[in-house]
Structure 1
Amino acid sequence: MDVTRSKFALEEYKMSRPLDLYDVTIIGGGPAGMYSAFYSGMRDLKTKLIDANPELGGRMLIYPEKMIWDVGGVTPTLCGTLIKQLVQQAKTFDPTIVLGEQVSRLQKQEDGTFILTTESGQRHWTRTVIMAIGYGIRKMAKLEIEGADRYEVTNLHYTVQELEVFRGKKVLISGGGDSAVDWANELESIAARVTIVHRREEFGGHERNVARMRSSSVDVRTSCLVDKLHSQDGETIGQVTISHVDGNFEDTIDVDAVIVNHGMRSDFGPIREWGLNMGEWTAEVSGTMATNIPGVFAAGDFVDYETKVRLIAGSFTDAALAVNSAKLYMEPDADKVAYVSSHNSRFKEKNRALGVVEDA
């Protein structure tokens, strides 16, 4: 084999593509993706983050008004506030961020790099990939009543953006998971009346929150479902008919607002065709967050391994492990982890900008 010609051909091959080569490209803009972007900067890697949503936050965007209690060192914080803090942190080292683009194709090149192609045809060239895609493209499960969509611009809601919108109103919540129970508890002291309708007898939320809801003034209707929506003006819902699942009875309730939380429908789309070892909802990874495709790593809700911790805090650890693995994949002799921020030279200038005077 002519090594000189081979090297020349490789360089010619690289130069023929009008793309900017990144060290790490992160797919997904939730907590794992955003922390990956930050930590990748700590490791002095040229970083890009691509997310299908028009804004960063991932699944957290669904419940901006919920309080987050379980992030280490962070006092109870509104989810919306935590998103803003994570976005600010993710941008610390100025990664390239591409929003509103869904990655649909992964192609490994002759030189070991990857070309990622989005549904719109955009192409992204990278040495490694970190997949932080959660449970894939997630969409709210809609209320399956004909004509319900006409009320989505008025008083039919699939998420709670601002609790104050419901102050003094008669609110009906349809659903039985964590979010439905949390919203019932949060609105109980704000709304004039809260009714929660769930098609099962038992709720799927955390026991403590369910117990709190059942002991409050929330009107709990189990083994029931929303059957009909009624409107006098054709624009807003004024009444809701609920019926028992076995058809024994029905009841009509006056409402000012309806909140539906019937869970999410998720789809990984063409990602299932990339050759990853995947189960129904997660990808198999090693303890270093490596997938079965060399150069492709993963973090957050998308991964599964024996000691996996499904908390936002756990996704941060996944992210750091994935970035460290990507660094070592490209540079086997590199330090195994980043220096902590108190001793990391990448923060010296940033500390000075904050007015922090460090010891000599």
Structure 2
Amino acid sequence: METAANKLELYDVTIIGGGPAGLYTAFYSGMRELKTKLIEAQDQLGGRMLLYPEKIVWDVGGVVPTRAEKLLEQIIQQGMTFDPTVVMNEQIVGLDKQEDGTFLLTAASGNRHHTKTVIMTCGYGIRKLAKLEIEGADRYEVSNLYYTVQELERFRGQRVLISGGGDSAVDWANELAHVAASVTVVHRRDSFGGLERNVSMMKQTADVRTPYAIKALQSADGKSISQVLLQHVETGEESTVEVDAVIVNHGMRSDFGPIRNWGIDMGEWKANVGPKMETNIPGVFGAGDFVGFESKVGLIAGTFTDAVLALNSAKVYMDPEATPYAYVSSHNDRFKEKNKELEELQKV
């Protein structure tokens, strides 16, 4: 009997999430000659990297320090190497395993997708920037209150206050040190996230105040912030900082939404997976920020490794006799024609 699922085009692998993890999974899936679909809920590929285009990324193996927007451009180009099917603006809300072991994915739009395996690379789910929880703060969002840094030049010569202690806050402080007149970093704890070297650099160039939190935003003209009132979180002592711009980096508030109802073993922030990136649902795998495991590496380099492991597991799940991993590019037949194309371009 023909079902709703088998009327749809069947893919070997469907990747949910178009950030670095999903894009590298799509690339590696092409290396393994699998029919691949990539589904992204937003209108752009890139995931969290879209939030900090001017950040300099240092920690990708074999890549010299590169602006995030340029690195992302290269990751997207690589992800499209084998022409996966890409679906944008599609939030997947339902996952149902069929009698034949395949999966039927349902989108909020009502669209459906049929696949043999699923690889979850959707990070922390639907992302929303955590806003400053001070009454009236939102009215300054049109003037000089920011939640992300898109252009460093916007802050040239300004007195900038950054509230937050995660890796992005640390990175922004270091980048702005060469642009702004001054940088003040306020964090409610003494410890900071991010690489130790970056934290040390920040402490050398910025006015770091801990443990403090923003108590109030003050304005001389009623339109933009001119002063920030800080309060020591332990003693209650208050102090004022003159500012031209305030950047708030209090992290992301994320919501996995319907994914929590799919039966995947989920923690508060990540899905629990095994050493081969397998979830508790056979045929469903994960990679990148979506997954958590004992030896998890929270770097883009670690994300790429997750993607390889997840895709290899999907390949073997579909074909237990398959080789456990792809041949290196120099021995992979899929690259022979592409190598010829590159050689011809270099001759021009």
TM-score, scaled to structure 1:
0.89
Give the structure 1 partner of residue 240 of structure 2: 252
2:74 to 77, 85, 91: 85
1:64 to 50, 53, 69: 53
CA distance in 2 between counterparts of 1:43 and 1:286 reads 22
Matched, 1:242 2:245: no
CA distance in 1 between counterparts of 2:13 and 2:37 reads 6
Alignment of 1:275-290 (within 5 A): 275-290=263-278
Give the structure 1 partner of residue 93 of structure 2: 104
Give the structure 2 partner of residue 5 of structure 1: none
Give 5+ residue unaligned stretches, structure 1.
1-8
> What is the deviation of 1:92?
0.7
Matched, 1:124 2:113: yes
- Of 105-114 and 333-342, more deviation after overlay is shown by 333-342
CA distance in 2 between counterparts of 1:356 and 1:309 reads 39
Identical-pair percentage: 67
Against the structure 1 CA distance between its residues 244 and 167, is the aligned structure 2 distance closer, same or farther, given a 3 Å change threshold? same
Give 5+ residue unaligned stretches, structure 2.
none
CA distance in 1 between counterparts of 2:194 and 2:90 reads 33
Give the structure 1 partner of residue 44 of structure 2: 55
CA distance in 1 between counterparts of 2:24 and 2:317 reads 19
Against the structure 1 CA distance between its residues 235 and 343, is the aligned structure 2 distance closer, same or farther, given a 3 Å change threshold? same
Give the structure 1 partner of residue 213 of structure 2: 225
Give the structure 2 partner of residue 13 of structure 1: 3
> What is the deviation of 1:224?
2.1
Per the alignment, in what secondary structure is the counterpart of residue 152 of structure 1? Answer: helix
Matched, 1:206 2:195: yes
Give the structure 2 partner of residue 157 of structure 1: 146
State which structure, 1 or 2, has the greater radius of gyration over its C-alpha atoms: 1
Matched, 1:194 2:149: no
CA distance in 2 between counterparts of 1:176 and 1:41 reads 39
Give the structure 2 partner of residue 315 of structure 1: 303
C-alpha RMSD over aligned residues: 2.1
TM-score, scaled to structure 2:
0.91
> What is the deviation of 1:35?
0.4
Counterpart of 1:343 in structure 2: which amino acid?
A: H
1:139 to 114, 125, 128: 128
CA distance in 2 between counterparts of 1:249 and 1:313 reads 42
Are the equivalent residues in 1 in contact too, given 2:14–2:117 (CA < 8 A)?
yes
Are the equivalent residues in 1 in contact too, given 2:92–2:108 (CA < 8 A)?
yes
Residues 261-314 of structure 1: per-residue CA shift (max 9 Å, x gap): 111212212211111122222223232222221111111222233433332112
Against the structure 1 CA distance between its residues 160 and 113, is the aligned structure 2 distance closer, same or farther, given a 3 Å change threshold? same
